[in-house]
Amino acid sequence: MSESGMPATSVVVISRHRPQALARCLTTLADQTHPRLEVVLVADPASVGIRPDLPLKRVVFDRANVSAARNEGLALAAGEVVLFIDDDALAEPGWAEALAAPFADPRVIAATGFTRGPDGLRWQVRGERITPSGNTTPLNIARTTLLEPENGCPVSTIGTNCGFRHRALIAVGGFDPAFAYHLDESDVNMRMAARFPLGLTAVVPAAQVLHGVAPGTGRGEAGVPHDLTAVGRSAAIFAARHGGKTDWLRDNQRRRLLRHMVAGRLDPLAIGRILATLDRGLSEGRDLAPSPPVWDRPPPPPFRSMPPATGDQPLLLAGWHWHARRLRARAARAAAEGRRVVLLLLTPSFLPHRLTLVPGGWWEQNGGLWGASRSGDPPVLFLGKRARILRERGNLPGRRE
């Protein structure tokens, strides 16, 4: 435990052939305020050297297996706590500190935060429990809460926004490479619940990330799936290992595909073919019975600390979208000086807002003067420009509910 009371913490980020997304993710990790934080990068040969200015631990890995990649990162992690984030995710300021803080309680073995979707504003995943069948049930949580498993269902720690006590994760063997994609962290949750039945998982609403839908294994642009074999295989292995069933999965995935079809992102004729890959994966998984993993790696190299960010109040720049060139120039200058910057660009419209981190290193939010910008907002907000800017000042990344 550091002098500040925060546990020494490692962040593992894995990446495969997505250098632009990875660069933005690393920018947000360099902006964390945690006083004792190291970052472990597991990436393909072309990406592993990205951001040479940052003191990262780096390892080359180029196989399409999320669990195996995370284990490579875990093998280098020297922190008492190990956090995980995906390369297409953006950590809000204060994320690492908020997610690691509950581990000061020795009963806590895992933690998960709240995750927003690609628009940066609306929720993708909040608190959930995972069942032995691999589906989830929601939790209604508004502040940091410590929870035990309930009726065989531990809290689900979504892989792009989760953390584990290092020794507890090692004790259960780390991640299981049998789960190349899908349910990899859920399998860890189930095995940890069995090994540590009184262990607590912290649900931390303040630990927020923005999770994109970058193309990857089995999916294309906008997260549209084209092959569900890995999903089916993992689901079958998971259910067999933990005593669940997979009879709910096909209807669940069919509804997912229909939503993409209705949105115009998927050819209706492709649905049957994609569902056939799910069936193939389920069949393959039923024939597999892998033993749970055992950790046999040597101790990690010494901790390599990142310099913490200052945590200064962000600079908010705001104006109409037709002033974007001038405002972006100001944002670029401030970001180059090491300032944390949020740029709000408004249009006289009802368009919902979007938030992201732009390549120049500042957060940028775009939307209508009267458009929704928070979960639960009505479609139309009757606000003037000044009132709108004041409202968004309380909704800045790292400082919002």
User: Please, are residues 117 and 124 in contact by the beta-carbon 8 Å criterion?
Assistant: yes
Please report whether residue 257 resides in a domain.
no
Assess whether 207 and 323 both reside in one domain: no
| pLDDT surpasses 60 at 111 | yes
Q: What percent of the chain has pLDDT over 90?
A: 87
pLDDT in tens, 245-290: 999 999 999 999 999 999 999 999 999 999 999 999 999 999 888 9
Domain boundary among 182, 214, 246: 214
Distance CA 303, CA 300 (A): 8
Kindly report the number of other CB atoms within 10 A of residue 333's CB atom: 12
- Going by the DSSP 8-state scheme, the letter that residue 175 receives in this structure is -
How many distinct structural domains can be found in the chain?
2
CA 186 to chain centre: 14
Structure tokens at 189: 């949750």
The pLDDT value recorded for residue 259 is 94
* Residue 329 structural domain: 315-393
Q: At what angle do helices 66-76 and 184-195 cross, to 10 degrees?
A: 60
Reply yes or no on whether the pLDDT at 398 is more than 80. Answer: no
Question: Could you tell me which of 86, 113, 108, 110 has the C-alpha nearest to residue 98?
Answer: 113
Does residue 310 fall inside a structural domain?
no
Coil, strand or helix at 324: helix
CB 12 within 8 A of CB 40: yes
Q: For the residues of 149-167, what is the DSSP string, one character each?
A: -BTTBPBP--TTSEEEEHH
Residue 240 lies in a domain: no
**Is residue 70 within 8 Å of 175, Cβ to Cβ?**
yes
85 and 207 assigned to the same domain: yes
Q: Look at residue 269 and tell me if it is in a domain.
A: no
Residue 226 has pLDDT above 80, yes or no: yes
Q: Which pLDDT score, from 0 to 100, does residue 312 have?
A: 81
pLDDT over threshold 60, residue 3: no
pLDDT at 5: 79
What would the mean pLDDT of 376-382 be, rounded to a whole number?
92
Provide the residue type at 177 as one letter.
P
Residue 259 lies in a domain: no
Tokens of 135: 């589906």
**Is residue 141 a part of any domain in this protein?**
yes
**What would the mean pLDDT of 194-219 be, rounded to a whole number?**
89
Whether the CB-CB separation of 68 and 61 falls below 8 Å is answered with yes
End-of-domain residue from the set 199, 214, 229: 214
What distances in angstroms separate CA 193 from CA 83, 168, 208, one per listed residue? Answer: 18, 11, 24
Q: What is the CATH number of the domain that holds 142?
A: 3.90.550.10
Is the confidence at residue 158, as pLDDT, over 80?
Answer: yes
Give the pLDDT band of residue 401 (cuts 50, 70, 90). Answer: low
pTM value surpassing 0.85: yes
**Predicted local confidence at residue 15, as pLDDT:** 97
CA distance linking residue 31 with residue 341, whole number of Å: 11
Whether 326 is covered by a domain: the verdict is yes
Confidence at 4, pLDDT banded by 50, 70, 90: low
pLDDT at site 316: 94
| Mean pLDDT of the region 326-344 | 94
In this prediction, residues 142-159 reach a mean pLDDT of: 96
Q: How far is CA 106 from the centre of its chain?
A: 24
Which amino acid, 175? F
What local confidence, expressed as pLDDT, does residue 313 receive? 85
Higher pLDDT, residue 314 or 311: 314
Rounded to whole angstroms, the Cα distance separating 392 from 378 reads 15
The whole-angstrom separation of Cα 116 and Cα 124 is 5
Question: What is the pLDDT at residue 219?
Answer: 72
Q: Of 150, 179, 214, which one is at a domain's C-terminal end?
A: 214
Query: pLDDT digit string (tens) for 194-206?
Result: 999 999 999 999 9
What is the spatial distance between Cα 242 and Cα 251, in angstroms, rounded to a whole number?
21
SS3 212: coil
Identify the pLDDT of residue 185.
96
Mean pLDDT, rounded, for 297-316: 92
What would the mean pLDDT of 64-89 be, rounded to a whole number? 97
- 66-70, 352-356, 371-375: the lowest-pLDDT one: 371-375
Q: Which of 117, 32, 121 is nearest to 391 (CA)?
A: 121
Assigned domain for 328 exists: yes
Task: Flag whether pLDDT at 2 surpasses 60.
Answer: no
